[in-house]
Amino acid sequence: MRVVIAEDNVLLREGISALLRDDSFDVVAAVPDAAQLLSAVAALMPDLAIVDVRMPPTHTDEGLRAALEIRSRWPEVGLVVLSQYVEERYATELLAGDTCRTGYLLKDRVADVTEFTASLRRVAAGGTALDPEVVRQLLARGRAGGPLTRLTAREREVLSLIAEGHSNSSIADTLVVSTGAVEKHVASIFGKLELPPDDRSHRRVLAVLSYLRDENQRS
């Protein structure tokens, strides 16, 4: 898998490159700012771009803006945005409309090498990787007495994993249960939240996220 990395901190840029090469990713370019990222993507058409939100010159959100530009110009390029903070608001901007081939992760997640590379593979394969912290923020604001409060603890866990972008089999692995048990939880959750059942993984992420966002706006 061909990857472009945009990260201004030399230590992290080298570190991420090294860890991806360990895991047989093909790092075709590693650049320190948004302008070089855009030209690298245009020239190399990678499968995946890993983008730091905060980069020179202004050190605010140029990485996020570059990511949105990549999304609109080259939708087939997978995007994983790394941030020093994860904010539900940024996630909303990035995932607006489509969650395909998109990841939004706390920068710290690169430290869990196995999970990080799994997230990258999921995104490159057309899925979603949303940071657990964002999902936590989304879930935390459920209304008292709203449909979310009717979920069991296990169902909430499953819902979080769906929102993070995991497939049923991945959820089963994480929770150490059978795929059949996961499917039963998913059906129950979608029933309680009155969402149309949908097996395609990225569609259901979108459904769950927009449900959670609406729920937040209502609360």
Partner 1 sequence: MREAGRVLAATVAPDTWRLTAALAVSLLPGAFFCLAVVLSLTLAASLSWVVGLGTILMALALRLSALLAGVDRRRVSRFYGLTIAPAPLPARQPGEPMIDAQRRWRRSPAAWRLARYQVIRAPACAAAIFVLVLCWWTVIGLLFVVPLRRQPTAPAFTSWIFGHGVLGAGAEVAAGLTGVAVLLLIPRVVRAFTRLDAALAQRMLGPDRAELLAGEVNRLAQSRAQAIDASDIERHRIERDLHDGIQPRLVSLAMQIDRARVRMNRDPAAAEDLLRQAHAGAKDALADLRSIARGIHPAILDERGLDAALSALVAGSPVPVAVSVRLSRRPGRSQEAVAYFTAAEAIANLAKHASASQATLRISDETGALVVEVADDGHGGAVITPGGGLAGLGGRLAAVDGSLTIDSPRGGPTTVMAVIPCES
- Contacts with partner 1 by CB under 8 A lie at 9, 11-12, 15-16, 18-19, 22, 54, 59, 84, 107-108, 110-114
To partner 1, the closest distance from the beta carbon of 18 in angstroms equals 7
Give the type of residue at 119. Answer: S
Give the span between the Cα atoms of 86 and 83, in whole angstroms: 6
Considering beta carbons, is residue 72 or 114 the nearer one to partner 1? Answer: 114
Q: Which is nearer to partner 1, 112 or 214 (CB)?
A: 112
Phi-psi region of 25 (alpha: psi -120 to 50; beta: other; left: phi over 0): beta
CB closer to partner 1 out of 114 and 217? 114
Query: How far is Cα 40 from Cα 18, in angstroms, rounded to an integer?
Result: 19
Residue 20 Cβ vs partner 1, minimum distance, rounded to whole Å: 11
| Residue of 153, 135, 150, 133 whose CA lies nearest to 99 | 135
The nearest distance, CB 113 to partner 1, in angstroms, is 4
Q: How far is the CB of 50 from partner 1 (least distance, A)?
A: 13
What minimum distance in Å lies between the beta carbon of 116 and partner 1?
A: 9
> What is the rounded CA–CA span in Å between residue 210 and residue 95?
10
Q: Helix and strand tally (H, E) in the chain? A: 10, 6
Question: CA-to-CA distance for 22 and 134, rounded, in angstroms?
Answer: 28
Smallest gap from Cβ 173 to partner 1, in A, equals: 18
Pick 113 or 187: Cβ nearer partner 1: 113
In the complex with partner 1, which residue's Cβ is closer, 101 or 109?
109
Residues 6+ positions from 29 with CB-CB distance below 8 Å: 4, 5, 40, 44, 46
CB-wise, 18 or 45, nearer to partner 1?
A: 18
The answer, yes or no, to whether the previous bond of 56 is cis (omega within 30 of 0) is no
